[in-house]
Amino acid sequence: MRILVLGGDGYLGWPTAMYLSARGHDVGVLDNGVRRQYDHELGSGSLVPIESLRARVKAFEEVTGDHIACYLGDLMDAECTYDTIGGFAPDAIVHFAEQRAAPYSMIDRKHAVYTQTNNIVGTLNVMYAIGEINRDIHLVKLGTMGEYGTPNIDIEEGWLEVTHNGRTDRVLYPKRPGSFYHLSKVHDSHNLEFGCRIWGLRVTDLNQGIVYGQQTEETELEPRLATRLDYDAVFGTVLNRFAIQAVLGLPLSVYGGGSQTRAVLDIRDTVECVRLACETPADRGEFRVFNQATESFSLQEMAKVVQNSYPGQVDIEYLDNPRVEIENHHYAFTHTALESLGLKPHLLSETLLHHMFDVIERHRDRVDHDLLAPTVNWRQSTRSRS
């Protein structure tokens, strides 16, 4: 297949592009480099040093002999979007190209507006390009389990059958997201489902849990092929933060009481899920939803896994929660679709023990301790910074 990866310079986009290429697909990547600009804005950066996108692509070709087509451009530019999709002529498009951090979207008005404009308009441009160029292109769109929030009923895979006043209908599962970022993903889902109904698009919406880990088969081939490992309080995931704190001998910082539950999966399972989705496309007119997560843990349980996996003393501390979220909530989700296609999940404890701690230890001198503390408060509504 010909597969175009949007956001191919990102934490997940780059290893996904290599993974798909290594398994025989013709791959192209598009990126505008803005993720690296966020680092400059926030004074943060990847714990693991990373090369530029062009250097990565060149290194991959040198190491494997496989070619990845590289495009520099922005989905907010409709002409660029049309030209790239029309020129590469993909069978499938994998869409990672969005601002992906909830805390970033909650900094102030400017960041909330940017997040929603960038994510929603960019996706609309992709939709229209597919609608006008080739409606057989299968769009694999990265969503998030955060779209659902924490409902008091089990979470189905995107759709819910409802009986009300004696009548039954199938509707999109109700969403109650917890940030302006997660809201942008909900708007994407609704727009894409609408596109399937009116234009006969084919879409797979991957509602992904928190991804942990930094190594795949391809990133381990050569240091120049490494993907990022974020640890700061804005872009770093909770598991990355816990693992780094353990290695540095710092207490693991749990927000609130720690009973908030999250869905998670290994980065190696992420790239495999994308491959499975691409190789078994949705039908024309189908809006298909896969819950792309394999395990769930409360924050306290995650901290305990890290504490029990690390071969040294690890303490846990509880901080005032900067987010607005429910504790002690019900959380159960269906995740059978991808496993029915052949996914064999990795387990959290195995990944932390055999991969993350070793990576962090090698680069521990690059950690800026000040970046680990939360700086964004959900309860504040602030004017944009100059």
Per-residue tens of pLDDT for the chain, all 386 residues: 999 999 999 999 999 999 999 999 999 999 999 999 999 999 999 999 999 999 999 999 999 999 999 999 999 999 999 999 999 999 999 999 999 999 999 999 999 999 999 999 999 999 999 999 999 999 999 999 999 999 999 999 999 999 999 999 999 999 999 999 999 999 999 999 999 999 999 999 999 999 999 999 999 999 999 999 999 999 999 999 999 999 999 999 999 999 999 999 999 999 999 999 999 999 999 999 999 999 999 999 999 999 999 999 999 999 999 999 999 999 999 999 999 999 999 988 887 777 899 999 999 999 999 999 999 999 987 776 54
Q: What is the pLDDT of residue 386?
A: 47
Which two three-digit tokens encode residue 158?
């995107």
Which two three-digit tokens encode residue 114?
């940017």
Domain for residue 376, yes or no?
no
Q: Give strand pairing partners of 71.
A: 30
Q: What is the pLDDT of residue 128?
A: 98
Report which DSSP code applies to 155.
B
Which two three-digit tokens encode residue 312?
């040294």
Q: What is the pLDDT of residue 384?
A: 66
CA-to-CA distance for 10 and 25, rounded, in angstroms? 19
Quickly tell me which residue has 């942008």 as its tokens.
184
In terms of Cα–Cα distance, which of 242, 236, 237 is closest to 307? 242
Which two three-digit tokens encode residue 386?
């100059």
CA-to-CA distance for 32 and 30, rounded, in angstroms? 7
E strands, the chain, are 2-6, 26-31, 68-72, 92-95, 138-144, 159-164, 167-172, 202-208, 210-212, 252-255, 261-266, 287-292, 295-298, 316-319
Domain for residue 375, yes or no?
no
Domain for residue 311, yes or no?
no
In terms of Cα–Cα distance, which of 143, 102, 120 is closest to 12? 143
CA-to-CA distance for 23 and 19, rounded, in angstroms? 6
Domain for residue 251, yes or no?
no
pTM: 0.97
The letter for the amino acid at 363 is: H
Domain for residue 94, yes or no?
yes
Residue 253, SS3? strand
Q: For the domain that residue 181 is a member of, what is the CATH number?
A: 3.40.50.720
Q: Do the beta carbons of residue 243 and residue 352 sit within 8 Å? A: yes
Residue 15's Cβ-count burial label (10 Å; 0-12, 13-18, 19+) is: buried
Domain for residue 244, yes or no?
no
Q: What are phi and psi of 249, to 5 degrees?
A: 75, 20
Rg of the chain taking only CA atoms, in angstroms = 20
Q: Do the beta carbons of residue 216 and residue 268 sit within 8 Å? A: yes
Find the domain containing 274 and state its range: 2-215+264-295+331-345
Domain for residue 374, yes or no?
no
Catalytic residues: 144, 181, 185
Residue 339's Cβ-count burial label (10 Å; 0-12, 13-18, 19+) is: middle
Which two three-digit tokens encode residue 255?
């927000």
- The domain tally of the chain equals 1
What does the angle CA 193 – CA 199 – CA 205 come to, to the nearest 5 degrees? 30
Which two three-digit tokens encode residue 19?
């993974």
Q: Give strand pairing partners of 172.
A: 159
Count of all residues that appear for the chain in the document: 386
Distance of CA 28 to the CA centre of its chain: 19
Domain for residue 53, yes or no?
yes
Which two three-digit tokens encode residue 56?
């990565």
Show contacts of 37-40: CB within 8 Å, 24+ apart: 38/99, 38/104, 38/235
CA distances from 79 to 45, 75, 82, 83, 248 (A): 31, 9, 5, 6, 47
